[in-house]
Chains A and B, each alone.
Chain A
Amino acid sequence: MAYPNTFRYTTEHEWVAPQAGKAARIGITDFAQHQLGDIVFVELPAVGTELVAGQAFGTVESVKAVSEVFAPVSGRVTAINTDLVKSPELLNSDPHGAAWMVEAELSDPAQAAKLMDSGAYETFVAEQDAAAH
Chain B
Amino acid sequence: MLAELGLPSVDELFSHIPEYCRLNRSLNIPPGQAEADILAYFKAAAAANAPGFTSFLGAGAYHHFRPAHLDSLVSRGEWFTAYTPYQPEIAQGTLQSIFEFQTMICQLTGQEVANAGMYDGSTALNEACMMAARITGRSGFVVARSVHPQYRQVLHTLTQFRDFPTVEVGFTPAGTCDWDALRAAVTDATAAVAIQSPNFFGSLEDWETAAEIAHARGALLVAVITDPVSLGLLPPPAAADIVAMELQGFGIPVGFGGPYAGILASRQKFVRSLPGRLVGEARDSDGRRGFVLTLSTREQHIRREKATSNICTNQALCALMASIFMATYGKQGLRELAQHNLAKAAYAAQACSQAGLEVLFPSPRFHEFVVRLRRPLADLEPALTQAKLIPGLALHPDYPELGHALLVCCTEIVPRTAIDSLVAILAQR
Q: Is A64 interfacial (CB-CB < 8 Å)?
A: yes
Q: Is the CB of A65 within 8 A of B272?
A: no
Q: Is the CB of A41 within 8 A of B272?
A: yes
Query: A46 is contacted by which of B137, B297, B302, B303 (Cβ under 8 Å)?
Result: B137
Contacts of B137 in A (CB 8 A): 46
Q: Is the CB of B297 within 8 A of A64?
A: yes
Q: How far does the alpha carbon of A84 sit from the alpha carbon of B239 in the complex, in Å? A: 29
B267–chain A nearest beta-carbon distance, Å: 15
User: From residue 244 to 293 of chain B, which have CB atoms closer than 8 A to chain A?
Assistant: 272
B371–chain A nearest beta-carbon distance, Å: 50
Contacts of A117 in B (CB 8 A): none
Q: Is the CB of A61 within 8 A of B302?
A: no
Q: Which residue of A lies closest to B273 (CB)?
A: A43
Query: B298 is contacted by which of A64, A66, A68 (Cβ under 8 Å)?
Result: A66
Q: Is the CB of B297 within 8 A of A61?
A: yes
Q: Is B306 interfacial (CB-CB < 8 Å)?
A: yes
Contacts of B306 in A (CB 8 A): 66, 68
Q: How far does the alpha carbon of A90 sit from the alpha carbon of B298 in the complex, in Å? A: 22
Q: How far does the alpha carbon of A66 sit from the alpha carbon of B272 in the complex, in Å? A: 11
B7–chain A nearest beta-carbon distance, Å: 40
Q: How far does the alpha carbon of A62 sit from the alpha carbon of B302 in the complex, in Å? A: 13
User: From residue 49 to 64 of chain A, which have CB atoms closer than 8 A to chain B?
Assistant: 61-64
Q: Which residue of B lies closest to A49 (CB)?
A: B137
Task: Choose among B272, B297, B298, B302 the residue with the greatest number of A CB atoms under 10 Å from its CB.
Answer: B297
Contacts of B298 in A (CB 8 A): 61, 66
Q: How far does the alpha carbon of A66 sit from the alpha carbon of B298 in the complex, in Å? A: 7
User: From residue 22 to 71 of chain A, which have CB atoms closer than 8 A to chain B?
Assistant: 41, 43, 46, 61-66, 68
Q: Is the CB of A43 within 8 A of B297?
A: no
Q: How far does the alpha carbon of A62 sit from the alpha carbon of B306 in the complex, in Å? A: 16
Q: How far does the alpha carbon of A66 sit from the alpha carbon of B299 in the complex, in Å? A: 10
B257–chain A nearest beta-carbon distance, Å: 36
Q: Which residue of B lies closest to A43 (CB)?
A: B272
Contacts of B303 in A (CB 8 A): 66
Q: Which residue of A lies closest to B271 (CB)?
A: A41
Contacts of B272 in A (CB 8 A): 41, 43, 61
Q: How far does the alpha carbon of A61 sit from the alpha carbon of B298 in the complex, in Å? A: 9
Contacts of B297 in A (CB 8 A): 61-66
Q: How far does the alpha carbon of A117 sit from the alpha carbon of B284 in the complex, in Å? A: 45
Contacts of A63 in B (CB 8 A): 297
Q: How far does the alpha carbon of A9 sit from the alpha carbon of B370 in the complex, in Å? A: 66
B64–chain A nearest beta-carbon distance, Å: 40
Q: How far does the alpha carbon of A64 sit from the alpha carbon of B303 in the complex, in Å? A: 11
Contacts of A62 in B (CB 8 A): 297
Q: How far does the alpha carbon of A104 sit from the alpha carbon of B297 in the complex, in Å? A: 29
A57–chain B nearest beta-carbon distance, Å: 13
Extra pairs beyond A61-B298, A66-B302, A68-B306 (14, CB < 8 Å): A41-B272, A43-B272, A46-B137, A61-B272, A61-B297, A62-B297, A63-B297, A64-B297, A65-B297, A65-B302, A66-B297, A66-B298, A66-B303, A66-B306
**A–B complex contacts, Cβ < 8 Å, 7 sampled:** A41-B272, A46-B137, A61-B272, A61-B297, A61-B298, A66-B302, A66-B306
Top 10 nearest A-B pairs (CB, nearest first) are: A66-B297, A65-B297, A66-B298, A66-B303, A61-B297, A41-B272, A46-B137, A64-B297, A65-B302, A68-B306
